[in-house]
Every structure is written in C-alpha cells, then in structure tokens.
Structure 1
Amino acid sequence: MSEITTSSDKSGGVLEDSLEVLWAPATVFQRSATRGVGMYMLVLTAFLIIVMLATKGLLQPYMDANYDLQMIKMAEQGKPVPTEGLETIRSISSWTLLIGWSLTAVFSGIAGGIITWLAAKLVRTPLAFGRAVFIATLASVPRVIGFLSMAVQGALVNPDTITSPFSASLGPARFLDARTANSAVLAILGGIDLFTAWNIVITAIGVSVIAKTSRSSGWIVSVIAWALSVILTLLPVLLT
C-alpha cells in the first residue's frame, strides 16, 4: 500500500508539468512548488527553438511585416532609412526576432517574475522572488501555443493582410492596421488576447497555490502584474 501511495504522490516531470499547466495549473503548482526553474526554462526554450526553425517559413510574413513596420516608423520620425543592403538587414532583423521569440520562456520568466513579485509586494502577498520567476515561467507556456497559432495562420492567411505580428493575435489588435493605428492603442490592445488571458489565469492560480493565499488574492496579484506589463510596454511608445 505504501508503494502505491508513493507512486501516486510522485511529482511529474518537467515536460509533463509544462504541458499539464495548460489545463491543470493548480495540480502542477501543488506538486512542483519547490522545484527549481532552470530546467523549465531550458526545456521550453529548446522546444521553442525547434518550433521556430521548423516553422520559420510560415512565420516569415510576420517577421517581414515587423521589419517593414519599423522602417515606416523610422521614416515617420525623420530617421534615415537604409537604402543599401536591405535584404541583408531584413534577414538580420528576422533572425534577431526569431531568436527573441525562442527565448520567450527566459524573458517572460525573468521579466514576468519581477513584475509578479512586485505586484505581490504591493498587496502584501508573501511570494518569494524565485517562486515568482517559477510561476511566470510556467505561465509563459500559452505564449508557446501562441507561436504555433501564428505559424498555422501563416499557412492560411494572405500575406498582404499581415501588417505586424499583432495580425496573428487572437484578440482585438488583429483587426488594426499597425501601419496606421495609434501606437499606444496598438500596445494596449496587443496585451489583450486569448494567450494573455490564459497567462493571467495560470499566474493567478500559481500565486494562490505557492503563496498559500486565497484564489481572489492570486487574481489581484495577476491582474496587477498584467497591468504593470502593459504600462511598461507603453513607456517606449509614450517616450518617442
């Protein structure tokens, strides 16, 4: 009987946790509350690198649109737009964006962890910084699904209708033309989509489980963290 109990209480593996957090986050956080975050970042990053390399052709229209948008913004600000080596610059821009996307789990884990920790401090929820990073890393898994969604859309959508990576958003930002839309409005609406909502839910549950607080407190921390991230996204737009 003791062997059966031990087997049922055994923690899931990193890959299992990374998948199951999508539909049973409370279970994952309960059994993995004291685990280190490094392996989760490593596994998610390795998976994203594979996804990015395998779907680069499908993601290319979004990367090209992002480059074109940056050129438009530079021209509007009176900055010189390069006239030579455009294809080389475009290629470098694409690979830079691809590498950035591949490191989503790392960036989201660290930046999201800082923001979640600060949000917890604001409402006096006892959450250690390392645990905040752990929560934010697992909460980034929906963003991985978001890139798969982008790749699928890249195979189905007319490239001429793509004006930025926001064109793949499963939220209001997809209906805006990034070339003409107000940058602040685009940044705000870009923070409202299915995968962001999923991230908020996982964060709220993670905070409540790991900090051993009420679910409502977890929701408060998660929503404040989301609001802070939107504000930080807006700052570069407001300062230009």
Structure 2
Amino acid sequence: MSDVQTSSSEVRKPSLLGVLFSPTEQFERIREKPRFGMALTILMVLSVIILSLTGLALVENPIYMEKAGVEEAGLPPEAFTAITIGSMLFGGVIGTPVLLLLRSLFHWLFMMLFRGEASFKQLFSLNTHLYLLPVLSSLIYMVYLWVTGGGGTDPETLPTSLSAFVSAEGFLKGLLGGIEIFAIWELILTASGLSIVGRLSKGKGWAIALIIFGVTLLMMAGFTALGEMADSMAP
C-alpha cells in the first residue's frame, strides 16, 4: 500500500510546454494529477497582453476602422480605441474561462455517452493546457498585425488560416477562417487527450473531438455570415 502511495505522489504535474513536445506524457499526468490553476493563470495573463496589443494594432488599421464605421458614427478615435481594447480585455478575462468551462462540459457529456472514465476536473485540466495552442495562434496574429499592419487585406483574417489564401465571403469565409494550423493541431491533441485521459478508444476520442470541432466551425461560419449581412444592410 505504501508503495502505491509513493508512486502516486511521484507523478509530476502536467506542464504547458510539455503538451507541445511530449503530449502523451502530459495527458497521463493530467489523468493522475488534473491541475489547472497555474496553467489557467498563465494563459489568461498571456491572453490579456496579446489581445490588448492586438486591439492597439487593429485601431491603427484604416480598413478595420472603415469596417467598424467609426467615422460614420462620429466616434472619437480615443473612445473607439478604449472600446476595442476593453472588449479584448473582457474576452481574455471572462471569455477564456467561460469557453474552457463550456468546452469541458460538452466533453464531459460526450464522455458519459461513450462511457469514458474522465471526470469534469480532468477534462477541464486537459482543455486548459490545450488552450496554449489558440494563445500561440493569437500571438502570431498579433505579431502579423504589428509587422504588416494587416497586409493591406482584411486585418481580421488569421494569417495561419485557409481564409488568408482563399478569397471568400460570408459563410465560406468563416468556415475557411476556422480551418487553421493551430486549430488542427489542437484537434489532433484533443482526440489523443480524450482517449488517454478518458480511457477511450482512439475512434471514440476522435469522434468527440470532431463533433465539437465541427459544431464550433459551423457556429463561427454562421456568425461571420450574419456579421457581413448586418454590415451590408447598414446605411
């Protein structure tokens, strides 16, 4: 009994960078020690910094300002900057944990459906560590904006997505925007993580990951289409 307790206590905590370089080992650690406090804090701080700098870059972009209708609304540039950065900060501080909670909830529901063994805490820890990939995508996007100013195209287009290479509008544009290098990487690691943490077959792990990914992709495309429709109807 003491040997079991000793071996259990020797299990190291999962690490953020380890998810990139030794994911299988980190997923086993998450199963044994589903910690997330430090990882969540680090990712939220990084998100706030990156999103704030992204907001500052966007308000300097004339295409973004024109699409936002700043001149037509008669909004002072300082007020628009404050609103933009404020919304970015809100997304980093509130949006990040809410997104992780919702995603973990859906994973947990599917885990029960497929008779997996993962608890909500384990899944929240898994999703928290995997959130490093969207943060890295945001970092590249922020650097891209500051270096190129948006490249003279739509500044809201992620340079690591298909929409940066294939011209499209509306629903298709949103669909291509969600098919992005880090999103695919995250999808692969999510499928593997669900299988390892939940003790599921690879097929079931992929099924859950693809369902969530597909629904998220369709929602993003729908919001993009609705946004463009609203812009076209604006006077």
The reply on whether 1:12 has 2:13 as its aligned counterpart is: yes
Which one of 207, 211, 218 corresponds to residue 205 of structure 2? Answer: 218
Relative to 1, partners in 2 of residues 1:184 and 1:127: Cα closer, same or farther, differing over 3 Å? farther
Shift in Å at residue 221 of structure 1? 1.2
The residue correspondences of 1:87-236 to structure 2 (distance < 5 A) are 87-101=78-92, 105-121=96-112, 123-159=114-150, 161-166=152-157, 168-175=158-165, 181-236=168-223
Relative to 1, partners in 2 of residues 1:146 and 1:59: Cα closer, same or farther, differing over 3 Å? farther
Which one of 67, 70, 87 corresponds to residue 69 of structure 1? Answer: 67
SS in 2 for 1:165: coil
* Corresponding residue number in structure 2 for 1:43: 42
Q: Determine what percentage of the aligned residue pairs are the same residue.
A: 20
Q: Are the counterparts in 2 of residues 105 and 141 from structure 1 also a CA contact under 8 Å?
A: no
Structure 1 stretches lacking a partner, 5+ long: 73-79
Question: Structure 2: how far apart are the matches of 1:191 and 1:38?
Answer: 28
Shift in Å at residue 125 of structure 1? 4.0
Q: Are the counterparts in 2 of residues 37 and 134 from structure 1 also a CA contact under 8 Å?
A: yes
Relative to 1, partners in 2 of residues 1:156 and 1:43: Cα closer, same or farther, differing over 3 Å? closer
Q: State the TM-score, normalizing by the size of structure 2.
A: 0.75
Structure 2 stretches lacking a partner, 5+ long: 230-235
* Corresponding residue number in structure 2 for 1:76: none
Question: Structure 2: how far apart are the matches of 1:69 and 1:112?
Answer: 31
Question: Structure 2: how far apart are the matches of 1:37 and 1:84?
Answer: 41
CA RMSD of aligned residues (A): 3.3
Question: Structure 1: how far apart are the matches of 2:212 and 2:11?
Answer: 32
Question: Structure 1: how far apart are the matches of 2:202 and 2:155?
Answer: 36
SS in 2 for 1:32: helix
Question: Structure 2: how far apart are the matches of 1:139 and 1:111?
Answer: 14
CA deviation string 1:44-103 (max 9, x = no partner): 2123334456xx2x663345555543439xxxxxxx952243441243123322442466
Shift in Å at residue 176 of structure 1? 5.6
SS in 1 for 2:140: helix
**Number of positions where the alignment pairs a residue of Structure 1 with one of Structure 2:** 220
Question: Structure 1: how far apart are the matches of 2:109 and 2:193?
Answer: 15
Shift in Å at residue 192 of structure 1? 0.4
Question: Structure 1: how far apart are the matches of 2:101 and 2:48?
Answer: 18
SS in 1 for 2:21: coil
Question: Structure 2: how far apart are the matches of 1:9 and 1:85?
Answer: 58
SS in 2 for 1:95: helix
Relative to 1, partners in 2 of residues 1:174 and 1:237: Cα closer, same or farther, differing over 3 Å? closer
Which shows bigger deviation, 101-110 or 210-219? Answer: 101-110
Which shows bigger deviation, 219-228 or 121-130? Answer: 121-130
* Corresponding residue number in structure 1 for 2:233: none
Relative to 1, partners in 2 of residues 1:172 and 1:160: Cα closer, same or farther, differing over 3 Å? closer
CA deviation string 1:98-157 (max 9, x = no partner): 442466642441232233334445555444333332222222111111122123323432
SS in 1 for 2:39: helix
Relative to 1, partners in 2 of residues 1:119 and 1:165: Cα closer, same or farther, differing over 3 Å? farther
Q: Are the counterparts in 2 of residues 12 and 31 from structure 1 also a CA contact under 8 Å?
A: yes
Question: Structure 1: how far apart are the matches of 2:76 and 2:30?
Answer: 50
Letter aligned with residue 115 of structure 1? F
